[in-house]
Amino acid sequence: MRRHVSPGTYCDGVSMRRPSKFTFVDLFAGVGGFHAALAGMGGKCVYAVEIDSAAAEVYRRNWGLASLGDVTADANDTTMNVPAHDVLVAGFPCQPFSKSGAQKGMDETRGTLYWNILKIIQAHHPKVVLLENVRNLAGPRHMHEWQVIIETLRAEGYRVSETPAIFSPHLLPPDRGGRPQVRERVFIGATFVGENAAGQDLDAEPLFLNRPVGGWDHKTWHLESDLPLDEDHRAEGCDLSKSERLWIDAWDDFVLQMWEEREGRRLPGFPLWADEWVLTRNLEIPEGTPTWKADYLRKNAEFYTAHRKVIDRWAKKWGIYTEKFPPSRRKLEWQAQDTARLWDTVMHFRPSGIRAKAPTYLPALVAITQTSIIGPRERRLSPREAARLQGLPDWFDFGPQQPAATYRQLGNGVSVGAVWHALKALADRDEEWLKKCGPKVLAAIQHAPANPDDALRTLIH
């Protein structure tokens, strides 16, 4: 049984407590991915803020700290309710910069929240600042916003790289906190070198390169053992509907028949769309059709012509062209290489069809799309598995909320392993500066284990 004690204390089996080594503030805190990493390194949170009440309640349950609030009310031109601290972290709202949004950047209200972060930095000059956002923040549409962030940090005496540091947890090996999830994010790591830094060279190397760490072969991930997946084939809120099972069973039969028909050759890499299957002699491509689509239509016609008899029998058997199969379920995108069966893959029901991938690593958890279907478990990824995918320990408690709320919170969160890696990289890069300006923070990061899982396993919250 876990005992609730103050944040930042540990238990090694005999209830020995260790004092906090540094303080931090957790802005736009969500359920506490940043908190997990910093508490695991010995930090004590002195202020956390999260505007979403459901996420704030999960934060309170796990970290014993109320976070519900609005940073714009606590940090502005006339008010500063954020206390002094050593480290500031913020996964500030990404919607203004995300490709899934309008990409208005700082022209959108949420984009201006960076200015509230800057007010806190100006008031307290924490030793270390670590910001996280979607990769698109460093993309061509947001060059102005990126430059503003870098220049304002340097104006406050921070050493920071102008080159974006982009990283994904699937590039980290498991013994460094890596996870089988492609989740590219940009990290801005800044070290305070003094208020009289004017004239000094504040440029720095990026924290890391977007490539595997320590010789890790990221193609060797396997969900079954590396996540790991729960053994149970049932999980609350994760079952497939009768229709979903029908669609998968039908396309699974297709995969097996094509494997035999094509004498062991994998399915082609282009999307197979039953609504576009015609004999090549009957193919008509309308004038003005984009080149990519015309190529796609020709390949589908050629595929159907080569396997017409088998395909027609299969389509009739399963009623592919009936109301049981909506148009979005008549399309299969096979990215699972030589995986033998559809039920052995990881699937995603997309508006454009069913995408199948090998059970190695997953696409990024996101807050707005359906959760991955784990074929070998015949269900969706469970909330506990999704939490593991973000690096949260198995003791992390989401309370009585519905799975949909948990998926949304995790999709909005940060990867604990990626944060851990970023802090380690910042300590390595700025070691000489931190010896002078932030020795407590430097020592805590350097003495933390290489794998955050080792620290979080014994963290008492």
CATH code of residue 18: 3.40.50.150
Residue 151 in this model has a pLDDT that exceeds 80: yes
The tokens describing 149, both together, are 């962030």
Q: Are residues 62 and 185 in the same domain?
A: yes
Determine what percent of the chain is predicted with pLDDT higher than 70.
90
Give 426-432's long-range contacts (Cβ < 8 A, gap of 24+): 426/128, 426/130, 426/189, 426/191, 426/207, 429/189, 429/204, 429/205, 429/207, 430/159, 430/191, 430/204
Q: What is the pLDDT of residue 424?
A: 98
- Mean of all residue pLDDT scores within the chain: 90
Q: Are residues 120 and 246 in the same domain?
A: no
Q: Are residues 263 and 172 in the same domain?
A: no
- Give the separation between CA 357 and CA 1, rounded to whole angstroms: 39
Q: What is the pLDDT of residue 135?
A: 83
Is 391 inside any structural domain? no
Q: Are residues 194 and 250 in the same domain?
A: no
DSSP letter string, 446-458: HHS-S-HHHHHTT
Assign 3-state DSSP to the chain and report helix, strand, coil percentages, each to 5. Answer: 40, 15, 45
| Per-residue model confidence as pLDDT tens digits over 362-407 | 999 876 556 899 999 999 999 999 999 999 999 999 999 999 999 9
| Per-residue model confidence as pLDDT tens digits over 408-446 | 999 999 999 999 999 999 999 999 999 999 999 999 999
The tokens describing 39, both together, are 């508490």
Mean pLDDT, residues 220-244 taken together: 93
Is 38 inside any structural domain? yes
Residue 461 binned pLDDT confidence (cut-offs 50, 70, 90): low
Q: Are residues 205 and 241 in the same domain?
A: no
Q: Are residues 29 and 67 in the same domain?
A: yes
- Residue numbers annotated as active site: 94
DSSP β-ladder status, 158-159 and 185-192: antiparallel
Is 2 inside any structural domain? no
Using omega within 30 degrees of 0 as the cis cutoff, is the peptide bond preceding 400 cis? no
Would you tell me how many other CB atoms lie within 10 Å of the CB of residue 196?
A: 8
| Per-residue model confidence as pLDDT tens digits over 316-357 | 999 999 999 999 999 999 999 889 999 999 999 998 899 999
DSSP letter string, 8-19: TEE-SSS-----
Q: What is the pLDDT of residue 107?
A: 47
Mapped onto helix, strand or coil, the DSSP state of residue 299 is: helix
Is 397 inside any structural domain? no
Is 405 inside any structural domain? no
* Range from 87-96, 136-145, 360-369, 452-461 that averages highest in pLDDT: 452-461
Mean pLDDT, residues 32-47 taken together: 98
Lowest mean pLDDT among 44-48, 141-145, 183-187, 347-351: 141-145
Do residues 159 and 202 touch, judged by C-beta distance below 8 A?
yes
Q: Are residues 124 and 28 in the same domain?
A: yes
Residue 5 in this model has a pLDDT that exceeds 50: no
Q: What is the pLDDT of residue 201?
A: 76
Q: How many domains is the chain partitioned into structurally? A: 2
Q: Are residues 180 and 263 in the same domain?
A: no
Is 399 inside any structural domain? no
Residue 237 binned pLDDT confidence (cut-offs 50, 70, 90): confident
Closest CA to 58 of 420, 413, 379: 413
Is 226 inside any structural domain? no
**Residues 404-440: b if buried by 16+ CB within 10 A, e if exposed:** ebbbbbbbbbbbbbbbbbbbbbbbebbeebbeebbeb
Of the residues 329, 361, 381, the one at which a domain ends: 381
Q: Are residues 216 and 241 in the same domain?
A: no
Of the residues 359, 381, 403, the one at which a domain ends: 381
Residue 223 in this model has a pLDDT that exceeds 60: yes
Q: Are residues 112 and 204 in the same domain?
A: yes
| Per-residue model confidence as pLDDT tens digits over 268-296 | 999 999 999 999 999 999 999 999 999 99
Residue 18 in this model has a pLDDT that exceeds 90: no
Domain hosting residue 201, numbered range: 9-221+411-460
Would you tell me how many other CB atoms lie within 10 Å of the CB of residue 84?
A: 13
Mean pLDDT, residues 42-71 taken together: 97
Q: Are residues 207 and 246 in the same domain?
A: no
Is 149 inside any structural domain? yes
Residue 9 in this model has a pLDDT that exceeds 70: no
Would you tell me how many other CB atoms lie within 10 Å of the CB of residue 161?
A: 18
Q: What is the pLDDT of residue 434?
A: 96
Q: What is the pLDDT of residue 103?
A: 41
Mean pLDDT, residues 18-34 taken together: 92
Residue 17 binned pLDDT confidence (cut-offs 50, 70, 90): very low
Of the CA atoms within 13 Å of residue 417, those in its CB half-sphere come to: 29
Q: Are residues 248 and 275 in the same domain?
A: yes
| Per-residue model confidence as pLDDT tens digits over 164-184 | 999 999 999 999 999 999 999
